[in-house]
Amino acid sequence: MSDYHRRTAYAREAMTGHLLDWAHQPDPFKRYRHREVLPLPQPRPPRSGFWDLALAWPPPADGDAPALDAAGFAAIMLMSAGVTARAAGGMGDLGLRAPASAGALYPAELYAAACQVEGLADGLYHFDPETPGLHLLWPGRLAGAAARRLGGPPSRLSFFISAMYWRSLWKYRQRAYRYCLLDVGHLLANLELAVASCGLAPRFSADFPDASLGVFLGLASDDEAALAAVTAGEAPDDAGPEEAGLPPFDLQAQPLSARIGRDAEVLAAHAEGNLAEALPPRVWPAVRPPAGSLQLPEPERPPAGLLEVIRSRRSRRNFLPAAVHEKEVSALLKAALPEPAACQANVLLGPGGDLEPGVYRYAPGLNVLVPLPAPPDDARRGLARAALGQLWVGQAALVLALWADLKGLSQAGGPRAYRHAMLAAGRAGQRLYLAATALGLGCCGVGAFYDDEAARHARLPENGRMLYLLACGPVKGWGVGA
Ligand SMILES: Cc1cc2nc3c(=O)[nH]c(=O)nc-3n(C[C@H](O)[C@H](O)[C@H](O)COP(=O)(O)O)c2cc1C
């Protein structure tokens, strides 16, 4: 699987531009031919604090959490994938959403099988961020059918996140599968936090039988694929059938544009990771920091509500030549990567703070920085040039480089492990954005980079492949830099 990543690497000497086909710009909203949009129930956002949720991660098992009702369900949908701002786009008014998205193309779609949610009919729903509303795709008790595909016990809530390839292919062509996975990871991070803010413990899964789940969600398999799932809530009184008795399906979505593009490389990359059966949850090995590593202090938890943080998160790139301090670094990294993950992280720090500038490896879970041999020049500047010349990256106080030994991962965990690594990078990215927002700092994801050059500047080991970069720090016009 590392082959797809290698084949879609950007190299300085081999870049060819292409014009965007505006006549076939994909619709950012999925529309069904035979389903009305139902109004979203009135949301009741929980009042949870961002830091309490993000730092005490993973949240404890459900315990005595109150049963979720329709208002809580609506809040989860909006916090995960709702429109949070308006901006001018290529075709006019563009709704910017709660998760960041490469090129604001929003390939990710959100579905939920809900069962015994007070005030909401049992069934499989698709979230429409535009209205905002719900498509009831399939009424009935589907907890058993969802659990059959996800491999765990039935739950009252099963969420599914898919990607519609064409939205991303339109701009990024073969590299689109990378962006689809990263984008799904961004939405996943919001979804997990939103679920946790309702007192429920989100259980993540990415190892489900693809064909069977695709049929369950009514996806056109060459155009859309489920990439992540989250279950939550206690077992329903009656989970419904695992297979039998499901009504015939007529879930036809309108095409995203008059002509839909497909890409053999993307389809093959996805197919290579396909599974026929669900796998048990994976455990990722921890980084073992050597002696002399730097223990970061316990982060502070200044008041910041999850909803407000999600709502005010935006990509901010106008970085000031200012530092982030040890306590901020600690909070940012611990919130982004609270536990060992399928991706690794190197951290580039600029001068002026109370930490030595340079490049570090981060040990999630332990909140420890391992200094790496210092480069002769400021690695952030090199990384900015490697980020296709997006020079603001070099000005950011902190750059997070998310990477993985893709070959090693695939040898140990099969080709499906690639999806895990990219989802983990997207999830960490969204969590970094949120933590930066809560601290009054700017943040921006960077998916466009010359892969080998970026790996060199971020001091990745020889087998390390760059997955995703994020620049973070004080910015002009927002928070501490305002
Ligand atoms: C995977 C990913 C890659 C991105 N890459 C870049 C990039 O290379 N350069 C950039 O300026 N912004 C990049 N962004 C930021 C998006 O442009 C931004 O999220 C989008 O325009 C929506 O705006 P918002 O984040 O303010 O909601 C990226 C975002 C994501 C999620």
**Alpha carbon of 420 to ligand 1 centroid (Å):** 21
pLDDT at position 195 = 96
pLDDT at position 61 = 83
Residue 71 sits at the vertex; the CA angle it makes with 69 and 76, to the nearest 5 degrees, is 95
Q: Which residues of 347-383 are buried (b: 16+ CB within 10 A; e: fewer)?
A: bbbbeebebebbbbbbbbebbbbbebeebeebbbbbb
C-alpha dist (Å) from residue 114 to 80, 136, 159, 189, 225: 16, 10, 8, 20, 20
Residues within a 6 A CB radius of ligand 1:
96, 100-104, 179, 182-183, 186, 314-315, 317, 390, 444-448
Q: Which residue has the higher pLDDT, 242 or 291?
A: 291
* Amino acid symbol at 407: K
Do residues 259 and 302 share a domain?
no
**Alpha carbon of 189 to ligand 1 centroid (Å):** 16
Q: What is the pLDDT of residues 419-436, one digit of tens each?
A: 999 999 999 999 999 999
State both tokens at 265: 């490389």
Domain boundary among 212, 238, 272: 272
Do residues 327 and 214 share a domain?
no
Report yes or no on whether pTM surpasses 0.85: yes
Ligand 1: which of 444, 466, 469, 470 to mutate, judged by most atoms within 8 Å of the beta carbon? 444
Domain count, the chain: 2
Domain boundary among 272, 287, 318: 272
Residue 2: pLDDT band (50, 70, 90) is low
| Averaged pLDDT for residues 301-330 | 96
Residue 14 is assigned to a structural domain of this protein: no
| Averaged pLDDT for residues 21-25 | 91
Domain boundary among 272, 288, 323: 272
Residue of 236, 161, 190, 205 lying closest to 45 (CA atoms): 190
CB count within 10 Å of CB 268 equals 13
Give percent helix, percent strand, percent coil of the chain, each to the nearest 5.
35, 20, 45
**Alpha carbon of 98 to ligand 1 centroid (Å):** 12
DSSP assigned state of 450: B
Residue 94: pLDDT band (50, 70, 90) is confident
pLDDT at position 16 = 77
Q: Which domain holds residue 159?
A: 21-272
Q: Closest ligand 1 atom to the C-alpha of 103?
A: 17
Which residues fall within 8 angstroms of residue 185, CB to CB, at 6 or more apart?
Answer: 228, 422, 423, 424, 425, 426, 427, 428, 429, 430
Read off φ and ψ for residue 358, nearest 5 degrees: 150, -160
Do residues 315 and 395 share a domain?
yes
Q: What is the pLDDT of residues 61-93, one digit of tens each?
A: 876 778 899 999 999 999 999 999 988 766 567
| Averaged pLDDT for residues 327-343 | 98
- Residue 297 to residue 235: CA distance in whole angstroms: 39
pLDDT at position 418 = 98
